[in-house]
Amino acid sequence: MATLMSTAEKYLKPEVINQIKRLDLRAQFIVKGFLQGLHASPFHGFSVEFSEHRKYTPGDDPKDIDWLVYAKTDKYYIKKFEAETTITGYLAMDLSRSMGYTYRQELTKFDYSICLAAALCYLMIHQQDPVGLLTFDRKIRNSLAPKSRRKQLGDVLSLLAKLRPQGETDIANSLVQLSAMLRHASLIMIFSDLLAEPEPVLDALYRLRHAGHDIILFHVLDEAEVEFPFGGMVELEDPENNQRLTLDADGFRSDYLAEIGRFRETYRRECFQAGIDYVPLDTSMQFDKALTEYLARRSSRG
pLDDT of the residue at 80: 58
Q: Which tens digits make up the pLDDT trace of 51-102?
A: 456 677 776 777 778 788 788 788 887 765 544 457 889 999 999 999 999 9
Higher pLDDT, 178 or 25: 178
Q: What is the DSSP letter of 218?
A: E
What is the C-alpha to C-alpha distance for residues 35 and 221, in angstroms, rounded to an integer?
26
Residues 276, 43, 70: CA angle, nearest 5 degrees? 135
Provide the CB-side half-sphere exposure for 56 (13 A, CA). 16
pLDDT of the residue at 120: 85
pLDDT band at residue 301 under the 50/70/90 scheme:
low
Residues 216, 217, 218: CA angle, nearest 5 degrees? 115
pLDDT of the residue at 98: 93
pLDDT of the residue at 21: 45
pLDDT of the residue at 32: 38
Mean pLDDT of the chain: 79
pLDDT of the residue at 140: 96
What is the C-alpha to C-alpha distance for residues 246 and 123, in angstroms, rounded to an integer?
45
Domains of the chain: 2-35+87-301 (3.40.50.410), 39-84 (no CATH)
Higher pLDDT, 15 or 75: 75
Mean pLDDT, to the nearest integer, of 135-146?
95
What is the C-alpha to C-alpha distance for residues 56 and 11, in angstroms, rounded to an integer?
56
Mean pLDDT, to the nearest integer, of 113-125?
84
pLDDT band at residue 158 under the 50/70/90 scheme:
confident
Higher pLDDT, 257 or 79: 257
Q: How many CB atoms lie within 10 A of CB 87?
A: 19
Least Cα distance to 99 among 162, 17, 192 occurs for 192
Which residues does residue 76 pair with via DSSP β-bridges, in sequence order?
none
Q: Which of 126-130, 161-165, 241-245 has the lowest mean pLDDT?
A: 241-245
